[in-house]
């Protein structure tokens, strides 16, 4: 399976970035209380950080998706991007109820980094997944919907689709019933999206969300009996802490360096960057680290 983007979509949204994660060999049965607790903590963190919902929705990742939806002729208050719906719900009434370890894991990553993340059961996908404009009138049954009363897509509505049928409505607004991730899912594909320009520094949030998600899926899959036990959470902390701390420290240093005003500091910055760029192995290592490539 490959993810393909219609050239017309690329031309219309040149700043679009989509990261794809495929996981196999999953045991997605039961629930992981550690993920529920972490999601509740994220909701509380958002309420503590933003005194009003409007301030949260005005953050760059969420604001960019709302602009994108308005440009498509939609009203985000009625038809919202997935990340906006999740953030709004978490802020107002807490996170959604537990669904399954895999779904809870990607919802946690989405809430933590405020980027839309959606997924499908890979064994239900026929052919490639394509992000394209709908021809209109294509049948769609959302999660929990009545298969005898399908919805119909609009002409030029952006959708994900495989060879068999449409997988989403309005880009990432809603997922379909046919390819939903369930307790029986053992293989899945996840897509994390950014609708705004993501500079190398800002892209680290997207990279870290996928790395968090991969670690959560691995640990909860290998410790099905009690994924919330201290040994598991401590392993997650050890696995992710050094990388996250390193990226945060590096981002802070680069931000401070980019804002330096004195001539001496500007000259030192220019020379240091020039030296790094001229050393090809170092340049390649830094580029791979920034892209999140191992």
Q: What is the CATH number of the domain that holds 163?
A: 3.50.40.10
Residue 150, domain extent:
3-198
Q: Using the structure block, give the residue that is written with the tokens 């109820």.
A: 97
Specify if 228 maps to a domain: no
Name the 3-class secondary structure at 161: strand
Arithmetic mean of pLDDT, 220-236: 72
- Domain-located, residue 149: yes
Q: pLDDT averaged over the chain?
A: 84
How many other C-beta atoms lie within 10 A of the C-beta of residue 173? Answer: 22
pLDDT of residue 16: 86
pLDDT at 199: 52
pLDDT-derived band at 111, boundaries 50, 70, 90: very high
Among 86-95, 158-167, 185-194, 195-204, where is mean pLDDT lowest?
A: 195-204
Q: Please indicate, yes or no, if residue 222 is contained in any of the structural domains.
A: no
Note the pLDDT of residue 45: 93
Domain assignment present for residue 100? The answer is yes
* 154 domain-assigned: yes
Q: How many domains does the chain have?
A: 1
Orientation angle between helical segments 82-93 and 60-71, nearest 10 degrees: 130
pLDDT at 31 (0 to 100): 80
Contact 100, 28 (CB under 8 A): yes
Q: Is residue 143 included in any domain, yes or no?
A: yes
pLDDT band at 217 (very low <50, low <70, confident <90, very high): confident
Mean pLDDT computed over 3-30: 90
Q: Name the band, by pLDDT with cuts 50, 70 and 90, for residue 258.
A: low
Query: Do the domain assignments include residue 41?
Result: yes
When pLDDT is cut at 50, 70 and 90, the band that residue 15 belongs to is confident
Question: Rg of the chain's alpha carbons, rounded to an integer?
Answer: 20
Q: Which pairs from 286-293 meet CB under 8 Å and 24+ separation? A: 290/200, 290/203, 290/204, 290/207, 291/203, 291/207, 292/204, 292/207, 292/208, 292/210, 292/211
Task: Report the pLDDT value the prediction gives residue 145, as an integer from 0 to 100.
Answer: 94
> Would 91 be classed as within a structural domain?
yes
Give kind and range of the element (H or E) at residue 264.
helix 263-278
* Percentage of the chain modeled with pLDDT above 90: 53
Tell me how far apart the alpha carbons of residues 135 and 118 are, in angstroms, rounded to a whole number.
23
Q: Which pLDDT score is estimated for 273?
A: 64
pTM of the prediction? 0.71
**Above 90 in pLDDT, residue 98?**
no
Going by pLDDT thresholds of 50, 70 and 90, the confidence category of residue 237 is confident
Does 185 score more than 60 pLDDT?
yes
């Amino acid at each position: 399976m490959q993810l393909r983007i219609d050239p017309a979509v690329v031309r219309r949204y040149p700043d679009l970035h989509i990261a794809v994660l495929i996981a196999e060999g999953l045991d997605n049965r039961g629930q992981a209380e550690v993920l529920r607790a972490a999601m509740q903590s994220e909701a509380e963190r958002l309420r503590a950080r933003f005194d009003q919902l409007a301030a949260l929705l005005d953050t760059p990742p969420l604001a960019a998706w709302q602009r994108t939806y308005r440009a498509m002729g939609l009203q985000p208050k009625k038809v919202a991007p997935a990340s906006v719906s999740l953030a709004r719900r978490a802020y107002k009434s807490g996170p959604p109820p537990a669904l399954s370890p895999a779904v809870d894991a990607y919802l946690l990553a989405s809430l933590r980094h405020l980027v839309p993340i959606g997924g499908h059961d890979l064994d239900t996908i026929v052919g490639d997944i394509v992000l394209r404009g709908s021809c209109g009138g294509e049948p769609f049954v959302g999660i929990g919907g009545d298969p005898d009363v399908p919805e119909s897509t609009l002409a030029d509505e952006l959708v994900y689709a495989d060879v068999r049928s449409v997988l989403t409505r309005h880009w990432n607004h809603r997922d379909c019933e046919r390819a939903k991730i369930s307790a029986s899912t053992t293989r899945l594909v996840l897509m994390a999206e950014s609708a705004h320009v993501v500079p190398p520094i800002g892209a680290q949030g997207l990279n870290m969300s996928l790395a968090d998600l991969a670690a959560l899926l691995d640990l909860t899959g290998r410790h099905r009996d009690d994924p919330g036990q201290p040994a598991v959470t401590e392993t997650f902390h050890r696995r992710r802490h050094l990388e996250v701390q390193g990226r945060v420290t590096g981002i802070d240093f680069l931000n401070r360096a980019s804002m330096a005003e004195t001539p001496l500091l500007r000259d030192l910055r220019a020379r240091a960057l020039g030296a790094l760029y001229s050393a090809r192995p170092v340049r390649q290592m830094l580029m791979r680290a920034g892209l999140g490539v191992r």
